[in-house]
Amino acid sequence: MWFVIFTLLLFLVFVISVSWTDRRGAPWVPTTMNTVRKMLTMAEVGPDDVLYDLGCGDGRTIVTAARRYGARAVGIELDPLRYIWCQMLITVLGLRDRVQVIFGDFFNQDLSDADVVTCYLLQSTNNKLEEKFQRELTGGTRVVSNTFTFPGLQRVRQDGDARLYLIRD
């Protein structure tokens, strides 16, 4: 009986969190690991880079950026369940010195120290982010988006779903 109630509650929390984040930017749909690697390779992520993943989901991009590419990575996530999951993941993997996860809305976070920004959101959310990028990101910052475009930014390359943009000086 308690197991059924617990499962139903968990399901309810999951449905609420997905529909809530959908309205704030995008629902949770993970990028495939193949595309994560494509995005990070295309942006030439390295040990000197600070990478931000906007809506970091289950943490796959920030963890890969730190473990495979040696970057310092910051994930921003609005969903409490996925935020807690990411905190546990980086602790278990011993990445707390290189990876940080912020609980909150990426529209309210300062991105000005980013060298690379990654995202997998929606077209309407990308459109709203463009103005923030132009205001906060310095020239030369690389922006890599899965699937959705940034029409006002300079597109440099595309490989499958991964699209690389450069912020102009």
Ligand X SMILES: C[S@@+](CC[C@H](N)C(=O)[O-])C[C@H]1O[C@@H](n2cnc3c(N)ncnc32)[C@H](O)[C@@H]1O
Binding mask 39-78 for ligand X (x = CB under 6 A): --------------x-xxx--xx--------------xxx
What does the DSSP assignment read for the chain? Answer: -HHHHHHHHHHHHHHHHHHHHHHHT----PPPHHHHHHHHHHTT--TT-EEEEES-TTSHHHHHHHHTT--EEEEEE--HHHHHHHHHHHHHTT-TTTEEEEES-GGGS--TT-SEEEE---HHHHHHHHHHHHHHSPTT-EEEEES---TTSEEEEEETTEEEEE---
Among 40, 43, 73, 79, binds ligand X (CB under 6 A): 79
29 binds ligand X (CB under 6 A): yes
82 binds ligand X (CB under 6 A): yes
Among 52, 69, 120, 133, binds ligand X (CB under 6 A): 120
Q: Least distance from C-beta 3 to ligand X, angstroms?
A: 27
Binding site residues, ligand X, CB under 6 A: 21, 24-26, 28-31, 53, 55-57, 60-61, 76-79, 82, 105-107, 120-121, 146
